[in-house]
């Protein structure tokens, strides 16, 4: 599998290199769907220029990256394009190996279940075959690298690419079973944008499954593992924050980075839900709605973890999707990360109900974003309502996609335990509904 992967990497790098050299690069770097106030390359350059002028980059309201990013790009600013292409390559390769290991595990588990004859006889067509599972890692890497969202994000030099690389390394180390590295990479991802914190739960669930620790609140081993993981996570977070303090000599970055992500003062339009809402609401209610919106991102962890505690990797996918839909400044780069996982659940296609609608809406919205932006900003014949309508539609389509996959996954699990053709008590055909 090395040869097709290498070929894919070469093709992806070529496409990005060609786009970097064209005049489209500047155009893409200004698009608000691709860059946000926390990930824009223009702001990274601005932060470096402020540092050169002797002014702290965090004294103004333009720069919202972490000090480690300043430190990294202080040395790599001339090689920025290579850095971002490398980040994309690392993400794709990490996802490739992660999915390959995950598939091996899934297949092994399925084999044991077949031998133990735990599946009902009429659902043998739902069993996965090695032949179909062989190409899934390559498909995942392809879905990530050749996704137009990822290409746009890379050409715009959005630091979201770096965040994606760290998250994918976290996924790889979690699936490999390495507790320490998993905590370290998760900490790096959380340090850059707070939301990957919610990935703690699936990581812990997976590692406990890997180490055969039962997930039971009454068992000491469960709490002991949780304590270990959290200790490693919080320890590395402490190390990183102190390192950032020593890099620039002050704690300004905390309010500029984390205060900014949580309190959303900058209302630059993006593909998320926050900007228009906060531009139009009464000041009196601002804090209330801010809390509601932020809690919304973190809240889904608990019910989803309870429901999906046997399937932590699917939980990880759901969490990634929830983060990239509901975070305060999302970009298409965040969407691209969870869309890369779709081939892993390609076998659910017979249970998906809305896939045609969702794909049409996503394509239409992606096409309408630049049109309505132009009408609002340049032609002056539309206003922010038009653009927000498309934003809402885009997010609704994403939510529908994720919930559809959730339904399909749960339905397949149900069929695997209670047979493919369901019958009600009186013998007539039953249908499954997701409540």
Partner 1 sequence: HELWEAVLPLIVLLCGGGQLKDDFQEELVIRPLHSGDIYASFHFRTLWETDFMKGNKVSHYRLFPKSLGQVISKFSVRELHISFTQGYWRTMQWGQPYLPSPPGAELWVWFQDTVTDVDATWKELTNVLSGIFCASLNFIDSTNTVQPSASFKPLGIANVTDHRFLRYATLPREIVCTENLTPWKKLLPCGSKAGLAVLLKSEKLFHSSFHSQAVHIRPMCQDSQCKTPSWELRQTLNVVFDLHTSGQGKQEWSLFKMFSRTLTEACPLASSSKIYIDITDNPQVGEQFELIPATPLLRQAVVLGDRRTFSVYDLTQQVTFGTVRSLNLLIRWKSTEGHMLRPLLHAERYVAGYGLQTGEIHTLMYNNHPFRSFSVLLLDSVPWYLRLYIHTLTVTSKGKDNKPSYIHYQPSKDRIRPHLLEMLVQLPPHSVTEVTVQFERALLKWTEYTPDPNHGFYVGSSVISALVPSTVAMDTNNTQERTLFSSL
Return the residue of 48, 72, 226, 396 that touches partner 1, per CB under 8 A: 48
Min. distance of Cβ 391 from partner 1 in angstroms?
A: 13
Handedness of CA 326, 327, 331, 336 (dihedral sign): negative
One DSSP character per residue, 233-251 reads HHHHHHHHHHHHHHHHSSS
> Is 59 one of the binding residues for partner 1 (CB under 8 A)?
yes
53 makes contact with partner 1 (CB under 8 A): yes
In our burial notation (b when 16+ CB lie closer than 10 A, e otherwise), range 98-113 reads: bbbebbeebeeebeee
- Min dist CB 307 to partner 1, Å, is 38
Task: State in angstroms the smallest separation of the CB of 283 from partner 1.
Answer: 7
With CB under 8 A as the contact rule, which of the stretches 46-54, 197-205, 304-312, 362-370 interacts with partner 1?
A: 46-54
Q: State the minimum distance, in angstroms, from the CB of residue 187 to partner 1.
A: 29
**Alpha helix (H) residue ranges in 135-219:** 136-145, 148-155, 160-176, 179-192, 200-210
| Residue 328: partners with Cβ closer than 8 Å, 6 or more residues away | 261, 262, 264, 272, 274, 293, 294
Nearer to partner 1, 218 or 284 (CB): 284
Q: Which of residues 263-302 bind partner 1 (CB under 8 A)?
A: 265-269, 275, 278-280, 283
Select from 48-56, 74-82, 227-235, 336-344 the region that touches partner 1 (CB under 8 A). 48-56
Regarding 42 and contact with partner 1 (CB under 8 A), the answer is yes
Nearer to partner 1, 25 or 342 (CB): 25
What whole-number distance in Å separates Cα of residue 411 and Cα of residue 408?
Answer: 5
Min dist CB 262 to partner 1, Å, is: 15
Q: Which of 217, 282 has the CB closer to partner 1?
A: 282
* Interaction of residue 17 with partner 1, rule CB under 8 A: no
Residue 215, number of CB atoms within 10 A of its CB: 15
User: Which listed residue (46, 101, 252, 413) binds partner 1 by CB under 8 A?
Assistant: 46
Long-range contacts made by residues 40-45, C-beta under 8 angstroms, separation at least 24? 40/158, 41/80, 41/156, 41/157, 41/158, 41/159, 44/69, 44/70, 44/73, 44/159, 45/77
Q: Measured from the CB atom, is 267 or 399 closer to partner 1?
A: 267
Closest separation between CB of residue 6 and partner 1, Å? 38
DSSP assignment string, 88-137 = HHHHHHHHHHHHHHHHHHHHHHHHHHHHTT-S-GGGGGGS--HHHHHTHH
In angstroms, what is the minimal distance from the CB of 289 to partner 1? 13
How big is the site for partner 1, counted in residues (CB under 8 A)? 28
Residue number, 253 or 406, with CB nearest to partner 1: 253
Sites for partner 1 among residues 250-269 (CB under 8 A): 265-269
Q: Out of 13, 17, 62, 126, point to the residue binding partner 1 (CB under 8 A).
A: 62
The SS3 assignment for 212 reads coil
373-392 binders of partner 1 (CB under 8 A)? 376-378, 380, 384
For the packed helices 67-76 and 41-52, what is the interaxial angle rounded to 10 degrees?
80
- If the CB atoms of residues 48 and 364 are measured against partner 1, the closer one turns out to be 48
Of the candidates 366, 399, 390, 400, the one whose C-alpha atom is nearest the C-alpha of residue 269 is 390
Distance from chain centroid for Cα 58: 27
**Rounded to an integer, what distance in angstroms lies between the CA atom of residue 33 and that of residue 283?**
27
Min dist. Cβ of residue 267 to partner 1 (A): 4
According to the binding rule CB under 8 A, does residue 399 interact with partner 1? no
Residues in the site for partner 1, rule: CB under 8 A? Answer: 30, 42, 45-46, 48-50, 53, 55, 59-62, 265-269, 275, 278-280, 283, 376-378, 380, 384
């Amino acid at each position: 599998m090395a040869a097709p992967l290498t070929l894919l990497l070469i093709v992806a790098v070529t496409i990005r290199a060609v786009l970097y050299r064209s005049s489209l690069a500047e155009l893409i770097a200004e698009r608000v769907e691709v860059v946000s106030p926390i990930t824009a390359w223009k702001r990274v350059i601005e932060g470096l220029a402020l540092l050169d002028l002797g002014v702290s980059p965090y004294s103004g309201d333009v720069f919202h990256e972490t000090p480690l990013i300043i430190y990294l790009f202080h040395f790599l600013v001339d090689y920025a394009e290579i850095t971002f292409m490398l980040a994309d390559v690392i993400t794709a390769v990490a996802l490739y190996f992660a999915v390959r290991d995950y598939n091996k595990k899934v297949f092994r588990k399925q084999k044991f279940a077949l031998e133990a004859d735990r599946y009902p006889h009429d659902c043998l067509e739902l069993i996965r075959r090695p032949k179909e599972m062989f190409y899934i890692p390559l498909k995942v890497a392809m879905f990530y690298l050749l996704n137009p969202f990822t290409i746009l994000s890379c050409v715009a030099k959005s630091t979201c690419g770096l965040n994606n690389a760290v998250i994918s390394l976290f996924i790889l180390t979690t699936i490999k079973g390495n507790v320490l590295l998993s905590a370290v990479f998760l900490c790096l991802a959380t340090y850059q944008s707070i939301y990957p914190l919610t990935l703690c739960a699936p990581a812990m669930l997976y590692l406990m499954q890997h180490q055969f620790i039962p997930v039971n609140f009454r068992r000491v081993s469960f709490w002991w593992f949780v304590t270990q993981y959290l200790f490693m996570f919080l320890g590395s977070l402490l190390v990183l924050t102190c390192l950032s303090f020593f890099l620039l000599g002050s704690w300004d970055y905390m309010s500029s980075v984390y205060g900014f992500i949580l309190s959303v003062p900058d209302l630059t339009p993006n593909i998320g839900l926050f900007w228009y809402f906060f531009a139009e609401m009464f000041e009196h209610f601002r804090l209330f709605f801010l809390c509601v919106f932020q809690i919304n991102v973190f809240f889904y962890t608990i019910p989803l973890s309870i429901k999906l505690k046997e399937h932590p990797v699917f939980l990880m996918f759901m969490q990634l999707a929830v983060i990239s839909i509901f975070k305060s400044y999302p970009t298409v780069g965040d969407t691209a990360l969870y869309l890369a996982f779709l081939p892993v659940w390609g076998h659910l296609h017979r249970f998906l109900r809305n896939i045609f609608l969702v794909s049409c809406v996503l394509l239409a919205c992606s096409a309408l974003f630049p049109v309505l932006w132009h009408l609002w900003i340049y032609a002056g014949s539309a206003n922010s309502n038009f653009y927000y309508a498309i934003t809402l539609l885009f997010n609704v389509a994403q939510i529908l996609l994720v919930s559809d996959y959730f339904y399909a996954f749960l339905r397949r699990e149900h069929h695997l335990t209670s047979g493919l053709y369901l019958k009600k008590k009186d013998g007539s055909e039953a249908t499954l509904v997701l409540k």
